[in-house]
Structure 1
């Protein structure tokens, strides 16, 4: 991606920044969660390493970027304000690209992004951080559901190869032999498959196509990117549009974040990566996170997405969207550094409570410990 007008805020409407209270209210409304109490305990996160937050540094942080992690950030912000009285993050959900640009331009303290820094962004971010590397810290994981509308079929199994051919238009009927082979004992109707994809630029689309590239490298020939490349089906704007299209279109299937699918009570397909069908649950998605590897050693935790999306381990649901918080490893002033560390520590501990209800996956304990090691190393 080419950086546009670095140092200038592009396309950011007035009044987008939300307070902790307002964002938390948005989260609970959008995701249907009734857990609005917050917590100072990390017991709901995963067992061990309940760290009490250091509450130093400045009271107000700013961040910008990914809409996919917006509702998780709201929960984190609520928890931060409860654990550290007076603390607040203003998060501007303008999209991953804008978040990276504004972080590099020193307009915000950190960025939320569905993709790690790459190419020229790596050097530009290091320049922004006073010559120190920026770190990609994967803090928020949201499973992607394969929501479908197929009368009389309560359980549907697919795999990467079938999905690739559906979204490229090569498999056109629900009773196609390739689908039937994965669904022994299920009567599949002789009706047209109607794929639904995101018509807007989308990190979910990018990661869905990366999944297809990793899980079905021979079948998926279109590459990745935030614009849908498959060429089959009908497009819909944003996650809410995909949900509406699947609800209203018999024979349809679309990819959408679990929280949206759950709220709409859509049925989601199981994925068979070679070790048997796996339903989308918090546990099966958490196993995918545990199986993921990092691209390199050290405190920059950019993920090797092939290890996530290409997993063939039993019980793993591999289609999980990883979103990052991009921070300076060094180069902040002391007050900002302390506040960033405080926010991220609370997010990884107390902030994990309620994530499952909001459609995200609470961090598995081993992964959380690795993340906190990097957070603690921010200077």
Structure 2
């Protein structure tokens, strides 16, 4: 379970009024190493706001966002030292479960709430509703362990990837792989597909891509639980990467920030092969429509997995920061608003985009405007 939340019941709505000034401080500080970036009246107001915020702010969820979350928490702590922020990487499903049970004030999830979960959030959010903010955008890398293969990337179509993970292609020198990689010497080595063992938003995004883009080669529905039994697996992103790294011939899928020294696949998009990059991931998100049940608080994107746009990389995950539109405690509301405002700020997004932190794709200015409006709508119930 997540960290127990300590209520600070003597807070009032005055806490909320200071969040705007506090968010301005965070924007000014950004990714600098210093905490003093403003002067005069602005600095006085922001200092007052930071001093007013205190208590515990607990989150849990997707392991894909752990690196970025670590950076955000560290920077937030510089300007709000009396707020103890924690985040437990338990997987997207575990994060949503803890959030809906009231164990944490916010969650991270690589898949949006289901209709049933959104309905359950009304009770958890004290008569309000869940807000879902697409604050972490990252390509999912198809990673492999093939020492000695001299190629910057291996090229694969969605159908080839689907056949590998469904067990139809079983050796690395299979003609289907060779045809897409002329001039590359491929070993007569068994392929070891590796999947996540836990319920995972990354798995749901990966299987959604296979289901929509493989032209029927993947016969399973998109799911956060791996649909095939008896496979090699790893728990969480780290567990999957460790499993792939430890087995020559293995192939898996993970948030691209965790690919490390493993080989990665360039995906066939239209007539070209596109390696992952933040720019290629952002192209897909900007070109994709909102989900049918999206609202001004639930900013859920319906990713276009079959795009043929040049330079786009359609195997992307969006990790949503999930919070309540209403809390029963003013300190909780103020802390959530301040923290998420920093995460959404240009500086917070720039911090996560640093390859040394997470290498994610920053959200666009237009999306940031919508996100901030949803954050600003958070209130105290009763």
Cα distance, 1:168 vs. partner? 0.8
Correspondent of 1:193 among 191, 194, 211: 191
Structure 1: which 5+ runs fail to align?
1-11, 18-37, 44-51
2:264 matched to 1:271? no
Deviations 1:295-322 (A, max 9, x none): 13523112213x2x33332111222222
Whether contact under 8 Å (1:158, 1:272) holds in the other structure is: yes
Cα distance, 1:156 vs. partner? 0.7
Whether contact under 8 Å (1:167, 1:230) holds in the other structure is: no
Higher-Rg structure is 2
Whether contact under 8 Å (1:156, 1:269) holds in the other structure is: yes
* CA shift in 2, pair 1:235/1:90, >3 Å: closer
* CA shift in 2, pair 1:267/1:16, >3 Å: farther
Cα distance, 1:167 vs. partner? 0.7
Which residue of structure 2 aligns with residue 371 of structure 1?
A: 371
Which SS does the other structure have where 2:29 is aligned?
Answer: coil
Query: Which has the larger displacement, 136-145 or 190-199?
Result: 190-199
* CA shift in 2, pair 1:370/1:197, >3 Å: same
Q: State how far apart, in whole Å, the 2-side matches of 1:255 and 1:283 are.
A: 19
Q: State how far apart, in whole Å, the 1-side matches of 2:242 and 2:66 are.
A: 21
Cα distance, 1:271 vs. partner? 0.8
2:149 matched to 1:152? yes
- Normalised by the length of structure 1, the TM-score is 0.78
Whether contact under 8 Å (2:106, 2:321) holds in the other structure is: yes
Cα distance, 1:363 vs. partner? 1.5
Which SS does the other structure have where 1:207 is aligned?
Answer: helix
RMSD: 3.1
Deviations 1:167-201 (A, max 9, x none): 11112233333323322343434443222222343
* CA shift in 2, pair 1:179/1:301, >3 Å: same
Aligned residues between the structures: 337
Which SS does the other structure have where 2:308 is aligned?
Answer: coil
Q: State how far apart, in whole Å, the 1-side matches of 2:324 and 2:215 are.
A: 35
Which residue of structure 2 aligns with residue 177 of structure 1?
A: 175
Q: State how far apart, in whole Å, the 1-side matches of 2:376 and 2:105 are.
A: 17
* CA shift in 2, pair 1:246/1:42, >3 Å: closer
Query: Which has the larger displacement, 356-365 or 136-145?
Result: 356-365
Cα distance, 1:217 vs. partner? 4.7
2:135 matched to 1:139? yes
- Normalised by the length of structure 2, the TM-score is 0.77
Deviations 1:13-61 (A, max 9, x none): 88999xxxxxxxxxxxxxxxxxxxx981369xxxxxxxx9974764232
Whether contact under 8 Å (2:91, 2:198) holds in the other structure is: no
Q: State how far apart, in whole Å, the 1-side matches of 2:197 and 2:85 are.
A: 31
Whether contact under 8 Å (2:211, 2:218) holds in the other structure is: yes
**1:40-59 correspondence to structure 2 within 5 Å:** 40-41=29-30, 55=49, 58-59=53-54
* CA shift in 2, pair 1:16/1:225, >3 Å: farther
Which residue of structure 1 aligns with residue 244 of structure 2?
A: 246
Whether contact under 8 Å (1:198, 1:235) holds in the other structure is: yes
Cα distance, 1:226 vs. partner? 2.7
2:352 matched to 1:351? no
Query: Which has the larger displacement, 266-275 or 236-245?
Result: 236-245
